[in-house]
Structures are given as structure tokens and as C-alpha cells.
């Protein structure tokens, strides 16, 4: 079973690598990859704070990780669909 602290650490490391890629002065293409890595790291870190700790070792189950991923994806998709239907009626 994966540890919650390991998942949090992975999110932090991805965010730091993303920041380094965003602030490097060598290639403009790396800025885009850095932004995506930083965003992914932020999402992983944020979601990992909601994962329940199932035993004293600080571990969680893969089932919990999948469940929270599905819930978050459902919320994001729902907001996107609702905003698509509402958007045409908000323009004056």
C-alpha cells in the first residue's frame, strides 16, 4: 500500500521541478512542460491531503486513491459541462 506522505512528497518534487523548468533561461519549450509539471504536482499534493490514512504506518489503499481521483474528475467535468450550458445565456 502506498504511503500518503510519499504521495505528498511526489507532488512537492514535481512542483519544484516544474518551477525550475519555468525559470530556466535556455529553452522556451521547457516553460510549457514546467507549467504542466507544476500544475500536476499541485493537483497531486492537494488530492493527497484528502486521502485517508488506513493504518498506523501512514498507508492508504489504492482503492481510496482511485475513488478520490474519480470524485475529483467528476466534479471537474460537471463544472465544465454546467459552464458550457450557462455561458451562452450570460452574454449581454
pLDDT digits (tens, 9 = 90+) for 67-85: 888 988 898 899 999 988 8
pTM: 0.68
Distance (Å, whole) CA 54 – CA 52: 6
Task: Give the domain extent around 13.
Answer: 4-90
pLDDT at 92: 60
Q: Report the number of distinct structural domains present in the chain.
A: 1
Interval 2-32: pLDDT, tens = 787 888 899 999 999 999 999 988 888 888 8
- Residue 64's Cα: distance from chain center in Å? 15
Amino acid at each position: 500500500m502506498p504511503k500518503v506522505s510519499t504521495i505528498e512528497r511526489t507532488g512537492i518534487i514535481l512542483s519544484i521541478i516544474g518551477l525550475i523548468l519555468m525559470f530556466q533561461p535556455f529553452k522556451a519549450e521547457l516553460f510549457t512542460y514546467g507549467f504542466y509539471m507544476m500544475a500536476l504536482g499541485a493537483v497531486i499534493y492537494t488530492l493527497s491531503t484528502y486521502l485517508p490514512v488506513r493504518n498506523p504506518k501512514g498507508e492508504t489503499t489504492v482503492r481510496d486513491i482511485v475513488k478520490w481521483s474519480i470524485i475529483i474528475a467528476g466534479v471537474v467535468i460537471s463544472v465544465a459541462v454546467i459552464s458550457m450550458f450557462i455561458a451562452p445565456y450570460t452574454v449581454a
